[in-house]
């Protein structure tokens, strides 16, 4: 049995050519599909969902699996035909995203921006800073991203508390958040965007965080109420590091650009060198499971 897989780039074709039982076929969104599309069972859309995705999917009569190269599936939820599986690329981006979180926490605690400004002004501004050591970090999201972050923070002697959708072993449930927030110096968001997490970080959530705490969003912009966060930043009570925003991209006149106490990056936490190679390694493993008659590990169920 040979399974035809539609692949959006040459790198993907090269990787999938090494998978037994797979025939990768190159395609592009803005040109007619190749003849092999009529028998394609697997589609790899690329790193984002293009505007013509619905039309393309409708032209694939044998489609059984959509394999994403991203860890998030919110653009596809509710837009996949009945009977078609949807699998994410969970596991490909956790390391680089966790690295970004560690970098931003160190940037804030060790005041590296302030020292950089002093360097630009040729000022020898010697002083004592804060430290990541001993900080109580609440990680909301106990999947691959959250666990990758935990592994990287523990060597800094930070104290990590994990929160998942439901409690298990050493993971707290989201229902415990109101009590946990007040006990932590930083809160890191690493959850998928779903109906349960959209707007999770509202004014009440932020008010429960202690003075001087840091909110780090490496999830999706819509998880946080932007206006509520702006109010806390402008008051000086909280600090934040955002890799994602709502809206996104951020308009040039948006108040987040000039909000005090904010580290802002343009959705690049996972965009480290080797991104495509890591993504296709996960995608190839998922497709190999499908070819062998198994269910992919990263299947999206219901609302994800």
Active site (catalytic) residues? 220, 248, 267
> Residue 268's CB: how many other CB atoms inside 10 A?
12
CA neighbor of 94 nearest in space, from 161, 151, 144, 150: 144
Q: Using omega within 30 degrees of 0 as the cis cutoff, is the peptide bond preceding 200 cis?
A: no
Residue 55 corresponds to which tokens in the numbers above? Answer: 């039309």
Q: Collapsing DSSP states into helix, strand and coil, what is residue 128?
A: coil
Q: Give the strand pairing for 85-87 and 42-43.
A: unpaired
CA neighbor of 279 nearest in space, from 43, 16, 146, 91: 91
Distance separating alpha carbons of residues 55 and 51, to the nearest angstrom: 9
> Residue 52's CB: how many other CB atoms inside 10 A?
10
Alpha helices in 141-250 (DSSP H): 144-153, 177-181, 203-207, 226-235
């Amino acid at each position: 049995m040979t399974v035809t897989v539609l692949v959006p780039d040459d790198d993907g074709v090269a990787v999938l050519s090494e998978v037994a039982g797979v025939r990768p076929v190159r395609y592009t969104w803005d040109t007619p599909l190749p003849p092999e599309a009529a028998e394609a069972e697997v589609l790899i859309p690329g790193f984002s969902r293009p505007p013509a995705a619905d039309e393309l999917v409708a032209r694939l009569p044998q489609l059984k699996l959509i394999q994403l190269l991203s860890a998030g599936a919110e653009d596809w939820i509710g837009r996949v035909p009945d009977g078609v599986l949807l699998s994410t690329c969970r596991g490909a981006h956790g390391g680089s995203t966790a690295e970004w979180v560690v970098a931003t926490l160190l940037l804030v605690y060790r005041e590296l921006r302030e020292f950089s400004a002093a360097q630009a002004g040729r000022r020898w501004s010697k002083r004592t800073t804060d430290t990541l050591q001993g900080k109580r970090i609440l990680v909301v999201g106990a999947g691959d991203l959250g666990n990758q972050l935990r592994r990287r923070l523990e060597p800094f002697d930070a104290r990590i508390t994990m929160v998942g959708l439901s409690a298990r072993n050493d993971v707290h449930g989201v229902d415990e958040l109101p009590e946990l927030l007040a006990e932590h110096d930083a809160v890191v968001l690493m959850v998928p965007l779903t109906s349960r997490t959209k707007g999770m970080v509202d004014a009440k959530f932020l008010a429960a965080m202690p003075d001087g705490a840091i909110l780090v969003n490496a999830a999706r912009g819509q998880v946080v109420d932007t206006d509520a966060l702006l109010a806390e930043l402008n008051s000086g009570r909280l600090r934040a590091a955002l890799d994602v925003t709502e809206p996104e991209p951020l308009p040039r006149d948006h108040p987040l650009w000039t909000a005090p106490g904010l580290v802002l990056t343009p959705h690049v936490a996972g965009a480290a060198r080797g991104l495509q190679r890591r993504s296709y390694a996960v995608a190839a493993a998922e497709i190999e499971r499908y070819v062998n008659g198994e269910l992919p590990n990263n299947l999206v169920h219901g609302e994800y």
